Structure 1
């Protein structure tokens, strides 16, 4: 894209909604456009922003957690996955073991050929912190378990990716919400419009409406 595109209102809304930077992957941009292009019409006034009746935890996470418990799923909290072993051949990569630290104790589990492993690596919200109207959130540069895990996996085989392309340049990759930082004088009116539709009576927090 050229300089005109990066100066457009579209790019301002797009990058602040999805945390895109100019140097990010063109493939990622394509995937997001395919997924969300039908919402473009509602971007100027945030008409397509969806609000839950309660917060995201009580509306989505907690019901799903309880449903999975009823299905016999076992959850293990307070656990940091430190590494995953693989048997790597020209044809496949088979996870053979997971290593973790739980409450200061090193542990893990051996895996069979029919086991599936879904791992969170390089989380966008890794090391996030809380702020309020009077105190800025602190920048926590590490350690970052999800990124550290990705780096260990990437060292095993190049096809696992290149985490430092995305996670080693904190100052260059910071982003902020359009509702906080935009200079567009129309944004406050949009926020007020959304607040009137909110079931919470327009209560606001840093970065948006709840």
Structure 2
């Protein structure tokens, strides 16, 4: 009688699950047909999305920056995946080649209320700011449970060029966790000395769904991996006892039995849960209740108190974790040409432009065109977001989250001081799609260290957690790297292999990097 083969189940179809499946195939000799990815949405990719058409408009809910130096496991993963466009090279090589052909160097990082580009080489720190940053560098993070950035820094810090740039590059709020802020200051020490140009940002040829997720899916499909979409996992059933052994995956009325030697990987918490899109004439809807991935996490955490973390600090205050993004689509490049002349950056070279005095704290990015595979030569797009969607606009006197796509575009036009071109810009509009994400900043919410579970919890025999809400020492959330690192750790740990996850590179301990950071903090 043939031996029944070990099965692997992934609850959630985002980057972490796809990465985990690759590592099972590549490093654990799993057959693709023994790997099952279950996703409640009709599309894979999680927060790495990109969709639309030239006639109805395109949409990206967001885009997480890549970094060549610090994404150790992400580059390992993409080095294993063949490019879909260029023969005989990997996705990694494809991305890096594109980025080097389109280097980032922002000439218009901050814009004031008069539409003037601001000089930003001076971080504008005073002595107290520098002392606080130095102290934070040496602070034991175990003492920072539930402390916010606002709790720690004085009022002056939040008026500096550094804060405006650091905040909008990574989507911080003043009430975000100091714990996470410290991790970023250490992990992204390389970026501290080039935050005004964003030279460390690595770009993909197209949006992240098409440049990363689609090649991963194609690779796994060819390996025979089983994808099930539009199916919602509602519970995990555990074996009795103090340990953690999943014996069944519950999908409403359906039960998927799990044997003790099978593996279960769960994406506990998703930052794009309950997001909603509007259009040019319709605001997006704010839907803060019952996020499915957090609800499932809460349910299983209650079954194993103290072992599977605590989701409450992350999803219980959506008014603190929400922000709104928007994606305008145009026929022709009239607006993009105006922005290029104004900023001094051609599309794809400038990264974020932040309107410092905007009541919405609005920023925009003009990517290299086309940003979508099905975007024709006569269609252009840009992307933007506002960190304070409850605030009334400076020109459109409505809260951002109540605004239509047209109203958001109007606010942008006036912040750029392109009023004289408003009619012509709007004549070229295909659509402007606003998107409200109630939980997009949930991973930055103040929390205790124990609120995030371990990738493989103590006592677990077959369950691993792979999300932005697990605890990985020294690494930083809200990155592609975090998802891939979690997945790789999960696979290697559950299977007890001798393979090693690529370690976090401690740039914060390197003398040259520290000297550049010190110089930057005093630069005028």
| Same fold (TM > 0.5) | yes
Unaligned runs of 5+ residues in structure 2 are: 1-151, 326-338, 350-366, 372-379, 386-524
Name the structure where helix makes up a greater proportion of residues.
1
Please, which of 47, 50, 54 is the counterpart of residue 199 of structure 2? 47
What's the Cα RMSD here? 3.0
Please, which of 370, 382, 392 is the counterpart of residue 205 of structure 1? 382
1:130 aligns with 2:277: yes
Residue 88 of structure 1 and its aligned partner are, at CA, apart by 6.5
Residue 62 of structure 1 and its aligned partner are, at CA, apart by 0.8
**Equivalent residues, number:** 193
Task: Choose 1 or 2 for highest CA Rg.
Answer: 2
Q: How does 1:68-83 map to 2 (within 5 A)?
A: 68-83=220-235
Q: Deviations over 1:6-53 (max 9, x none)?
A: 444333333433343344444333443444332233322333333321
1:116 aligns with 2:263: yes
Aligned partner of 1:183 in structure 2 is: none
1:162 aligns with 2:306: no
CA distance in 1 between partners of 2:283 and 2:191 (Å): 31
User: Could you tell me the TM-score, scaled by structure 1's length?
Assistant: 0.74
Please, which of 170, 173, 179 is the counterpart of residue 18 of structure 1? 170
1:174 aligns with 2:322: yes
CA distance in 2 between partners of 1:121 and 1:114 (Å): 21
**SS, match of residue 220 in structure 2:** helix
CA distance in 1 between partners of 2:289 and 2:343 (Å): 34
Moved more, 29-38 or 144-153: 29-38
Aligned partner of 2:505 in structure 1 is: none
1:153 aligns with 2:327: no
The answer to whether the Cα contact below 8 Å between 2:191 and 2:200 also exists between their aligned partners in 1 is: yes
Distance 1:152 1:49, change over 3 A: same
CA distance in 2 between partners of 1:201 and 1:59 (Å): 12
Distance 1:83 1:37, change over 3 A: farther
Aligned partner of 1:63 in structure 2 is: 215
The answer to whether the Cα contact below 8 Å between 1:81 and 1:99 also exists between their aligned partners in 2 is: yes
CA distance in 1 between partners of 2:315 and 2:291 (Å): 10
CA distance in 1 between partners of 2:191 and 2:175 (Å): 24
CA distance in 1 between partners of 2:381 and 2:169 (Å): 18
**SS, match of residue 228 in structure 2:** coil
CA distance in 2 between partners of 1:87 and 1:63 (Å): 37
Aligned partner of 2:190 in structure 1 is: 38
Unaligned runs of 5+ residues in structure 1 are: 178-187
Please, which of 72, 77, 99 is the counterpart of residue 250 of structure 2? 99
The answer to whether the Cα contact below 8 Å between 1:132 and 1:206 also exists between their aligned partners in 2 is: no
Using CA pairs under 8 Å that are at least 6 residues apart, name the structure with larger relative contact order, 1 or 2.
Answer: 2
Residue 61 of structure 1 and its aligned partner are, at CA, apart by 0.7
The answer to whether the Cα contact below 8 Å between 2:206 and 2:370 also exists between their aligned partners in 1 is: no
